[in-house]
C-alpha cells in the first residue's frame, strides 16, 4: 500500500493521527479477515476513480447536482474566473444517498456521536469498494463499480468521523482524499483573514450546538493561535433574503458584538439561499438612506463577503484535483452514478450500498 491518504482541508500542517480514534478503526486495521481490510488492501487511487458524495439523500442530491454544473474556475490556468465550461468536466460523481441513518443530528441529540463516527468511516471505506449490491435483499455484493479517488461528505455532522477515516487511511497507508464541508468553509477564511477578523456563521441551531464549527476553527488554527474570531446564529429563513440578513445582523448586535464582519459562512445544506438575492440584500444595506439601516451598514467590512458551503466544497475539490494532477482530462460533460445507502430488514440491520439504475449527464 503506497498511496497516502490526504485530508484535503486539514487547514495547515499535516495532521497527526488522533489517539482518540474509535474502536472500529482498530478493528479494520487488525482483523485481516474483515471485508473492510480486504477493501483497503485492494484499493489503488488513480485519476479515473469517481468523486464520491456521501450523506443524507437530500443534501447529497443537491450537492452533486451543483458540482456537476458549477463554473467557478478557468479550466486552463485554474484562476478564479468563469470560462463557460463545467469545472469538473470529464469527471464521474458517485452519489451515495443515505436514507436509513438520517437525520444525522439525532446522533448528537441522543448522545451517540460515536455511532455516527463509525458510520462515517463505514461510508468512506464503502466508497473504495469495487462492488456493491444489486438490491436491498441481495446477499452478495455482485455489481461492479468504480472506487473513488475523492470522498466528499454532504453533512456537517460527519466532521468527527472524517477525522477517524483520515486516521484509518493514514495508518493503513492507502486511501482517498477526504473533503470536509465544515473545514472547506473554515479553512478558506483562516487562510485569508488575519488575527482579529470577525467571521459570522449562519447555520441551524443543531449544527452550531454540535460544536463542529468550534472544532474546525481550533483544528485550522496554526501554532495554537486562532486566526479569526467567530460567532454563529440561526436566523429565521421564512422571509425575504433582505429581512433574513437584517435579522442575522440584529442577532449579531444583540449578542454585544460591534466589530465589522469580514465574512459570513453559510451552511447552505440547512439554509439554501439565492446568491443573487443575498448580494442584492448586501447592496441594499450598504446603499440605503434609511436611518434605521445605518447601524447594520457599520457591521459590514469594506471587503465583506458571503461564502456558501457548496462553493467552498467545490473550490476544495477543484484545487486538490489540480494540485495532485488527478483530473481525468476526458473531454465530456460531468456524469453521475447513483447508489442508495439502506438497511436490510431481517438481516441484522446490515447497511448496504445498492446501485440505482440511473445515470445522468450534465448538459
pLDDT tens digits along 49-101: 999 999 999 999 999 999 999 999 999 999 999 999 999 999 999 999 999 99
Burial class (CB in 10 A: 0-12, 13-18, 19+), 12: middle
Q: Which residue has the higher pLDDT, 246 or 135?
A: 246
Is residue 266 left, alpha or beta, with left meaning phi > 0 and alpha meaning psi from -120 to 50?
A: beta
Residue whose C-alpha cell reads 483520515 in the numeric block: 166
Question: Is 238:273 a contact under the CB 8 Å cutoff?
Answer: no
pLDDT tens profile 353-363:
898 865 555 54
Q: Which residue has the higher pLDDT, 80 or 351?
A: 80
Q: What is the pLDDT of residue 2?
A: 30
Helices and strands counted in the chain (H then E): 13, 13
Q: What is the pLDDT of residue 236?
A: 80
pLDDT tens profile 283-335:
999 999 898 898 999 999 999 999 999 999 999 999 999 999 999 999 999 99
| β-pairing verdict for 92-98 and 335-343 | parallel
> Which cell numbers hold the place of 114?
460515536
> Domains plus CATH for the chain?
6-180+311-361 (3.40.50.1860), 184-310 (3.40.50)
Does residue 103 have a cis bond before it (omega within 30 degrees)?
yes
- Alpha-carbon distance 57 to 62, whole Å? 9
pLDDT tens profile 106-153:
999 999 999 999 999 999 999 999 999 888 878 888 889 999 999 999
- Alpha-carbon distance 22 to 168, whole Å? 10
- Categorize the per-residue pLDDT at 164 as very low, low, confident or very high, splitting at 50, 70 and 90: very high
Q: What is the mean pLDDT of the chain?
A: 88
- Alpha-carbon distance 207 to 185, whole Å? 14
DSSP structure string for 163-193: HHHHHHHHHHT---EEE-HHHHHHHHHHHHS
Amino acid at each position: 500500500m503506497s498511496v497516502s491518504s490526504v485530508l484535503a482541508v486539514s487547514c495547515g500542517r499535516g495532521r497527526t493521527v488522533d489517539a482518540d480514534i474509535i474502536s472500529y478503526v482498530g478493528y479494520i486495521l487488525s482483523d485481516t479477515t474483515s471485508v473492510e481490510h480486504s477493501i483497503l488492501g485492494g484499493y489503488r487511487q488513480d485519476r479515473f476513480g469517481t468523486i464520491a458524495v456521501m450523506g443524507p439523500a437530500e443534501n447529497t442530491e443537491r450537492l452533486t447536482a451543483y458540482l456537476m454544473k458549477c463554473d467557478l474556475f478557468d479550466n486552463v490556468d485554474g484562476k478564479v474566473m468563469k470560462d463557460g465550461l463545467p469545472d469538473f468536466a470529464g469527471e464521474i460523481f458517485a452519489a451515495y444517498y443515505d436514507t436509513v441513518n438520517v437525520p444525522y443530528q439525532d446522533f448528537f441529540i441522543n448522545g451517540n456521536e460515536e455511532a455516527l463516527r463509525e458510520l462515517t468511516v463505514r461510508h468512506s471505506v464503502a466508497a473504495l469498494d469495487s462492488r456493491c449490491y444489486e438490491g436491498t435483499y441481495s446477499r452478495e455484493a455482485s455489481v461492479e463499480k468504480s472506487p473513488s479517488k475523492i470522498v466528499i461528505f454532504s453533512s456537517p455532522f460527519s466532521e468527527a468521523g472524517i477525522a477517524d477515516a483520515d486516521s484509518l487511511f493514514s495508518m493503513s497507508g492507502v486511501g482517498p482524499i477526504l473533503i470536509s464541508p465544515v473545514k472547506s468553509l473554515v479553512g478558506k477564511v483562516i487562510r485569508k483573514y488575519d488575527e482579529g477578523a470577525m467571521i459570522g456563521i449562519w447555520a441551524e441551531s443543531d449544527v452550531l450546538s454540535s460544536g463542529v464549527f468550534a472544532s474546525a476553527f481550533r483544528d485550522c488554527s496554526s501554532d495554537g493561535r486562532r486566526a479569526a474570531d467567530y460567532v454563529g446564529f440561526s436566523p429565521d429563513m421564512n422571509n425575504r433574503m433582505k429581512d433574513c440578513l437584517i435579522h442575522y445582523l440584529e442577532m449579531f448586535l444583540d449578542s454585544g458584538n460591534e466589530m465589522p464582519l469580514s465574512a459570513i459562512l453559510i451552511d447552505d445544506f440547512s439554509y439554501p439561499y439565492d446568491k443573487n438575492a443575498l448580494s442584492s440584500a448586501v447592496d441594499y444595506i450598504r446603499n440605503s438612506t434609511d436611518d434605521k439601516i445605518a447601524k447594520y451598514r457599520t457591521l459590514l467590512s469594506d471587503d465583506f463577503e458571503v461564502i456558501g458551503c457548496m462553493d467552498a466544497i467545490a473550490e476544495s475539490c477543484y484545487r486538490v484535483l489540480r494540485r495532485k494532477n488527478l483530473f481525468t482530462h476526458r473531454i465530456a460533460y460531468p456524469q453521475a452514478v447513483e447508489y442508495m445507502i439502506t438497511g436490510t430488514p431481517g438481516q441484522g440491520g446490515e447497511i448496504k450500498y445498492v446501485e440505482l439504475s440511473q445515470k445522468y449527464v450534465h448538459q
